[in-house]
Every structure is written in C-alpha cells, then in structure tokens.
Chains A and B, each alone.
Chain A
C-alpha cells in the first residue's frame, strides 16, 4: 500500500512537469491552431539560459525570474521572425517550420553548451518530507505546487485581465477582433511569449531530476503531447490533469506489470491513451470542434 502511494506521488510529480509542457502546447494551439513541436527545445534552451545566469553568480530566484523575462522575449521574437512569414501557409508547412526550429535549437544548444550533462540546482530543500511510512522528495512536491501556481496564474490572466480577454478574442474570431481594434498579430506573439515562459518553468523544474542536456526534453515532449491529447487540446486545465494522469499511469504500469518493466512503459502509456481517444475522440475534457458545413 505504501509503495502504491509512493508511486502515485512520484507519478504526480513527473505528471506535473508533463502537464506544464502540455499547458504550453495547448496555449499556442488555442491561439494559433499550431502544435509547436519546438516547445520542448524552447524550454530546454530557456533552462540553459537559467544555468548561464546562475553560473554568473545570480541567486536562484533572480535567475528564475530573469529567465522568465528572457524566455518571454525569445518566444515573441520566434513568433515574429520565424512563424509569421508562414502564418497563412498550409498547416503542414507550419509544422515543418516548427520541426526546423526544433533541430536548430537542439543543435545550437549542443554547440554552445556541449552535449555533456550538467547538474541543475533545485530551489527546494534536499531533506525529504516524511508522512507516516511514505517519503516524498521535497522537489517533487515543489514541482507540483509550482505547476499549480502557473495554472492559477494563467487562469487569472485569461479570465480577469483586458489583455487576456483580447487574446482570447483574437484566437476565437480574428476578423471581428481586428474590427474592435485588437492587434491580432501581436496577440499571437504574446501567446508564444507566454508559452515560452510556461515552458521555461517546466524546464527549470525538470532539469534537477533528469540533468541538463540538449536532449533532455525529447522524451518529455512526447509525454506532454500525449497529456495534451488526453486532456483535450482545447482545455488548459485538461492538459494539466492529462499530464498528472499520464505520469501516474506510467509509474504504476512500470512498477506493477512486470513483463512490461521500464522498456515498454512508454508504449503502454501511449496505448492506453489511444484506447481513451477511440472512445472520447477530442480528449477527456476537450470540446469537439464544430465545423460549418
């Protein structure tokens, strides 16, 4: 029983990270109908920026918020420079541009920082939290809390601020929003900036666990993709819940079903998601897209 609780808790911790990358994916998807395949690499790059700031002697939280600002600017720049020229192109063209961005970021990070793994500090105390027979890593709990804070912050931003309202309007009906005086192009850019920030948080939370290297986000992006699909690409809350579910399933399947072990874990998690999708084709919390005939 204790092992089960333990596995669920650590599943929730990794799930929180999948959820925050999934959240970033969903944000860009909602604003622009694009799945940003480069999201994981953008998060990885942000984490390297944080590492550089910390190496320059800045304290953790200064570097943390500094990275958020830099990531926001970076995200906006990427939208303006890379994505905007193909804005009106067929959707698959944009997908290929994102893949191009992915390999560029990965390769440049490897070039600047080398492919050697680097340790990355955690802001949380090292001593584990003990509750009865169950031990939680403080970083695991901290990562979940941070993810929930990000979610709450985004919810408040989109729900209560004028800018958030304008962004939602621009995503839902670009033509009418433009007539109301909303600068739709900039709203999209801000959406990319925010997604880059969310990704940066995820990167800085995951780096202490998996170590920092240019390929660290590859596996996580796949799980995040799965989480967003499971939760529904139209629902930010769903993406986070989807992430938590994927994290827990992955851990429990890996522990209890012995012939699967760690090698087939990913396959089984994805297969389970497919089964869910066959019954709920737009994800657990997503709305089915309505098309005009």
Chain B
C-alpha cells in the first residue's frame, strides 16, 4: 500500500534533480518559482486542509517573509540563508499571535479576518516608506553560487530552493503523520470530541497557524531572493486567492498536493495566455471550473482514489 507513494516520490525527486541539465535558465527559474509556491502551499494546506481553518490571507505572511529578507539584506548586508531562517521565525511568531484572536472565529468569519489582513498588506507596506522603499520597492542582487560551484545563478537558486523544499517537506510529513498531526486533524473533524480526548485545541490551532505562516514566510523570503525585487503591489489580494486555488486544486490535506497545486498556479495562467490573448483569464477560469468538475477533491485526492480502486481490484474487496 505504501509502496506506490514511495515510488512516486523517488521518481519526482529524480526528475527534479535532472531538470537543471535539461531546460533553459528561464524555464528553470519558473521551476524555482514552483518550488517556492509549493512551500507556501504546504504551509497553507496545514492550516486549511489539515486543520480546517480557511485562510484568505497567506499572501500577508508571504509578504512579511519577503520584506524581512529584503530589508535585512539591503540594510544590514546579512547573508541570505540567515535571513530566510529569520523570516521563517518572524512569520511563525506573527502567525501564532494572529492565530490567538482568530480562535474565536470560524469558517467564513475567519476567512474575512484573514482576507482583511491580505488587503491591508500593500497599503501598510506603502505607509512605512522609509523601511520598505514605498511603492518603488527594494531591489536586491541575485546570489552567486558558493564554493566555486560551476552553476549559473539560476541553477544555484533552483538547487538551493529544492534543498529547502525537501527539508521542509520531510519535516511536514513527519509532523502531520505523528501524534501532533492526528491532533490537528481531530480538531478539524470534530473539535468538541478532540477537546474531550484531552487535546488543547486552542494551543494546537494557534500553533498550526504559526507553523503554517512560518512555512509561507520562508517561501516569501525565497521569492524575494529569487526575483531579487520586492514591491507592495506584488502582494495583493490575488496572491492570497491564488494560494487558496493552488491548495484546493492540488488536493486538501495532502503533502504531495502542494507540489501539484504549485505546478497548476505557475503554469496554467501562462498556458491560458497562449491559448487566447484576448481573454486569457476567461480560459483560466474555465480550466479552473473544469478541473473542479473532474477532480472535486484535487489532484492528490483523485490520485489517492485511483490508487485505492486499483488496490481494491486486486484483493476483490467490495464497498
């Protein structure tokens, strides 16, 4: 039963490692972007998929992570790997603190609260102009590969992102598969029963919010380094909505779903643009709707279902 996912992971890793040898720098940059989105989506999926709290505001933590990195590099010349860790920790704390008042809100009301957060971000960033550079943003330079590695900057960024992605995915997989993960899921399924079993729901919910925001913050930090530029208007409300789209299309409550979702939100808009120049977003919307018709549980959910069916055919179990 567990063999198929393992084979899948091994194949995906092999493909990811072979990629820098096969594609141009521009394509590779796009895949770096996919990796970054995947980290952000994994963070959001922990909160929305596993814990059942809807967030329309993860763009805010992405922005916080990106600006932390940008300001630290620009002002204090801090080495960029350090800034990523700092961004992650800062977002973790911010997410935890935001998670405390959010405890009182459920479903739609939480969606509104986080939506407000996402809306406020560009305005707040413009307001603190002396730190953030206002609407001009902050320009950074792309890091060079260390230790004299024979890689182009794009290739190095790709490898760097991939390494962080693997570490974070393994961590998330273990966290969600263990006792903590079961507590998080139990709260989603029935928070009263979870509480009766002795789970501190308030603590777990705010912690999940924190970890989720931390992941998204790391992704934001990586994006600032990869794009080498941050500006308030790239962190608008559509970014947060795109994240939610990615999580649902990829598959709720699935670690692998984050990668599928990231591929979708990175490539499908471009693809739509190629199909119709006049109304690309209409094509994108249409694809989104058709995708949801075909796979109401997301890509990962459909794969899981397909695998379960195949297994069942072998053993002749009837439902």
Contact = CB atoms under 8 A, between A and B. Distances in A.
A99 B288 CA distance: 9
Contacts of A35: 108, 111
Contact of B248 (A82, A92, A270, A293): A92
A103 B282 contact: yes
Interface in A208-252: 222, 225-226, 229, 233
B98 to A, nearest CB: 11
A277 interface: yes
The A interface is mostly helix, strand or loop, or mixed, namely helix
Interface string B98-137: 0001001110110111011001100110110000000000
Interface of B: 48, 54, 101, 104-106, 108-109, 111-113, 115-116, 119-120, 123-124, 126-127, 190, 192-193, 241, 244-245, 248-249, 252, 278-282, 284-289, 292-293, 296-297
A93 interface: yes
Contact of A101 (B54, B190, B287, B289): B289
Contact of A106 (B54, B113, B281, B289): B281
Nearest to A232: B109
Contacts of A5: none
B109 A90 contact: no
A92 B252 contact: yes
A265 B119 CA distance: 11
B282 A277 contact: no
Interface stretch (A12-20, A57-65, A107-115, A141-149): A107-115
Interface of A: 29, 35, 82, 85-86, 89-90, 92-93, 95-97, 99-104, 106-108, 110-111, 222, 225-226, 229, 233, 263-264, 266-267, 270-271, 273-274, 277-278, 281-283, 293
25 contacts: A29-B108, A85-B293, A86-B293, A89-B297, A92-B48, A93-B248, A93-B292, A93-B296, A97-B289, A99-B241, A104-B285, A104-B289, A106-B281, A107-B280, A107-B281, A107-B285, A108-B282, A111-B279, A226-B116, A263-B126, A263-B127, A264-B127, A266-B123, A271-B116, A281-B109
Given A85-B293, A90-B296, A281-B105, 20 more contacts: A90-B297, A92-B48, A93-B248, A93-B296, A95-B244, A96-B249, A97-B288, A99-B285, A100-B286, A104-B286, A107-B280, A108-B282, A226-B112, A264-B123, A266-B119, A267-B116, A267-B123, A270-B116, A273-B112, A277-B109
Contacts of A282: 109
B279 A225 contact: no
B284 to A, nearest CB: 6
B109 A229 contact: yes
Contact of B112 (A93, A95, A102, A225): A225
Contacts of B193: 293
Given A90-B296, A264-B123, A229 B108 contact: yes
Contacts of B127: 263-264
Residue with the highest number of chain A CB atoms closer than 10 Å, among B48, B293, B297: B293
Given A274-B113, A281-B109, A222 B119 contact: yes
A225 B297 CA distance: 26
A48 to B, nearest CB: 15
Residue with the highest number of chain A CB atoms closer than 10 Å, among B105, B116, B280: B116
Contacts of B111: 35
A101 B285 contact: yes
Given A92-B248, A96-B245, A103-B285, A293 B113 contact: no
A234 to B, nearest CB: 11
A102 B285 CA distance: 8
Given A86-B293, A95-B248, A229 B112 contact: yes
Contacts of A278: 101, 104-105
A279 to B, nearest CB: 9
B282 A107 contact: yes
Given A96-B245, A107-B281, A82 B289 contact: yes
A8 to B, nearest CB: 24
A100 B104 contact: no
A239 B190 CA distance: 30
